[in-house]
Amino acid sequence: ALALAMAGNGWTQTAPMTPDITGKTFVVPEPQRDFTKRVVMVPMRDGVKLYTVILLPKGAHDAPIILTRTPYNAAKRAERIDNATRMVDALPQGDTAFAEDGYIRVFQDIRGKYGSEGDYVMTRPPRGPLNKTGIDNSTDAYDTIDWLVKNIPQSNGRVGMLGSSYEGFTVVMALLQPHPALKVAAPESPMIDGWIGDDWFQNGAYRQINLGYLTGQTAARGPGVGMPRATNDDYTNFLRAGSVGDYARAAGLEQLPAWHKLLEHPSYDSYWQQQGLDKLLARLPAINVPVMWEQGLWDQEDMYGGNHAWAALESKDTDNTRNFLVIGPWRHSQANYDGSSLGDLKFDGDTAQQWRRNVLKPFFDQYLKTGAPIAKTPPVWIYDAASNRWDTYQHWPQSCAQGCAQASVPLYLHADQTLRGTQDNSGAQYAEYVSDPAKPVPFVPRPVDMGDRATWTTWLVRDQRFVDGRTDVLSYTSAELTAPVKLAGVPVAHLFASTSGSDSDWVVKLIDVYPDQYPDDPKMAGYELPIALTIFRGRYREGFDAPKALASDQPLMYSFDLPNVNHVLKPGHRLMVQIQSSLFPLYDRNPQTYVNNIFLAKPDDYRKATQRIWATPQQASFISLPVAAGHLP
């Protein structure tokens, strides 16, 4: 016997020499949970089974389902803390409002990742010319929803989908051919077009820091591997390597098909065009499922997707009831976390929670819960981080070149680096700088640690004084504003620019310069806050699918959009436009000599170039500003 009965009090005593390993299986007692968890391998039409975690509130009946399909480990997505006893603690922070209100929550590994069977293909292209397998993330979502509504008796047969970034991509894929039980969707910062502006490229410039994502995501079915770092400064690490191809080879990426697909498609060829989801959405005859697109104003990963997908559907939403746009003051995916601040910016409360509780939740309830009221969903809801308030609009943009409530206004780049509402007639011709690929402009102060989340998630709101004054950065400044000016729309850069090389990148930043004194928040005094920023690879001047060498020393016209802006420029502030030719090591260096594939540029191809931004009456460079109210100085 293991124990001896103790005389009198009913306790037992364990003999000192009792073996401590019994040989019997140890059973962890089930905690008292307010939910049950089912893990199921859900079969798809081709027999592949997908790992699916279902969290059911105890006592659920007639309950709606929210589904997220993920490449990021479904088991972990449904286990925020170990051994949670409350469903609200098991689920991600972004799910709280749903968890508190009886929703059934489902996470599923997409095929080929973590617990799911099948092959993994990075953001698997939709069925069509690139994918003849008959299977994509539309069919997998369809088959999953079909299974869920037939096999969860506690459900009311209605499903909503939400998720951010890659998980947002899987939501959009489900919308291309939705199951009838899919009643509502919220793609959050979705990856829509990986070449034009989401994740892999930005107007043709390659986001080389994403190489680590490839190893993390595709070196194994489970967690992959990180990048070795030779020094603590990724600026140095990338610069020493040479081209992106050299860096990738040294890091072992040639073993990964996902890298080869990038290497083989540096331009916007049919490979990219045929998987641009906004183009596929635009071809839908109607909006089948009410959808709320969410986007951050300072989304460092997917700045293009949400708002362009919304725009692709907007003409089909004639009565403003099925296509909604929300843009918060957020970094990538911040919508699902605390939204009280971003970098040095502080907002009026937790803006992310305000969205989730007051807008998203009632919208989902309306379509998913039996008897829920009609939500008063704003057609367009965008935060203004200068006024610190949400603006509700019927239409977006509020100001543009043609067809908006207000017409956009040109702001000219003068040769003396001033910004003015009128053209330069001083007789001076241009402002110039020398761009040296051996000394590219850093995108954050060095040392650059790409693994540091705080650096990465806030870089788009960083004070730009750290480059203002470099000889390879032009900083054009306006007079001080004497009255507020509201910007609400998409600024468009119209540059007449020349390079002494035969290829070139152009970085344009629109900056709100705070007053010299700012007693309300002294660290913001003189702050140069980027409110819209982008990079354009010059070879694509005549078309993203038609790279061409640039004629050296010729002023050539470059026109390209910056991201959305909804911002009041306040009295005492000034506007600034910075122009430079690199943002390193975030984007790969343009060698400034035209080569077929920049991924494979050779050391000799990287050459200094003299860059000029022209300001003559015939070649007047300007930014077209979406002024919705007020007058520029």
Q: 305-314 vs 166-176: helix axis angle to the nearest 10? A: 20
Between 148 and 253, name the residue whose CB sits nearer to ligand PG9: 253
Least distance (Å) between residue 96 CB and ligand PG9: 21
Burial class for 15, CB neighbours closer than 10 Å (0-12, 13-18, 19+): exposed
Between 302 and 561, name the residue whose CB sits nearer to ligand PG9: 302
Between 191 and 368, name the residue whose CB sits nearer to ligand PG9: 191
Question: Is residue 191 within the footprint of ligand PG9 (CB under 6 A)?
Answer: yes
Question: Is residue 294 within the footprint of ligand PG9 (CB under 6 A)?
Answer: no
Least distance (Å) between residue 209 CB and ligand PG9: 11
161 to 180, contacts with ligand PG9 by CB under 6 A? Answer: 165-166, 169
* Residue closest to ligand PG9 (Cβ): 165
- C-alpha to C-alpha distances, 353 to 93, 328, 360, 457, nearest whole angstrom: 10, 11, 10, 18
Least distance (Å) between residue 108 CB and ligand PG9: 15
**Interatomic CA distance for residues 37 and 433, integer angstroms:** 61
**Residues 190 and 302 sit within 8 Å (Cβ to Cβ):** yes
Between 140 and 391, name the residue whose CB sits nearer to ligand PG9: 140
Least distance (Å) between residue 123 CB and ligand PG9: 5
Exposure string (b/e) for 292-314, b if CB count within 10 Å is 16 or more? bbbbbbbbbbbbbbbbbbbbbbb
Least distance (Å) between residue 70 CB and ligand PG9: 9
Least distance (Å) between residue 540 CB and ligand PG9: 21
Least distance (Å) between residue 291 CB and ligand PG9: 19
192 to 231, contacts with ligand PG9 by CB under 6 A? Answer: 199, 213
Eight-state DSSP code of residue 520: T
428 to 487, contacts with ligand PG9 by CB under 6 A? Answer: none
Between 165 and 408, name the residue whose CB sits nearer to ligand PG9: 165
Q: Using CA of residue 121, residue 126, residue 132, residue 133, what is the dihedral sign?
A: positive
**Interatomic CA distance for residues 442 and 587, integer angstroms:** 10
**Interatomic CA distance for residues 395 and 397, integer angstroms:** 6
What is the CA angle 131-133-138, rounded to 5?
Answer: 75
**Interatomic CA distance for residues 302 and 132, integer angstroms:** 27
Between 332 and 541, name the residue whose CB sits nearer to ligand PG9: 332
Least distance (Å) between residue 126 CB and ligand PG9: 15
Least distance (Å) between residue 125 CB and ligand PG9: 13
Nearest to 207 by CA among 196, 220, 215: 196
**Interatomic CA distance for residues 150 and 216, integer angstroms:** 35
Between 166 and 238, name the residue whose CB sits nearer to ligand PG9: 166
Question: Is residue 278 within the footprint of ligand PG9 (CB under 6 A)?
Answer: no
300 to 319, contacts with ligand PG9 by CB under 6 A? Answer: 301-302
Question: Is residue 123 within the footprint of ligand PG9 (CB under 6 A)?
Answer: yes
Q: By rule CB under 6 A, what count of residues binds ligand PG9?
A: 9
Phi-psi region of 333 (alpha: psi -120 to 50; beta: other; left: phi over 0): left
Nearest to 445 by CA among 235, 211, 206, 209: 235
Residues of this chain that bind ligand PG9 (CB under 6 A): 123, 165-166, 169, 191, 199, 213, 301-302
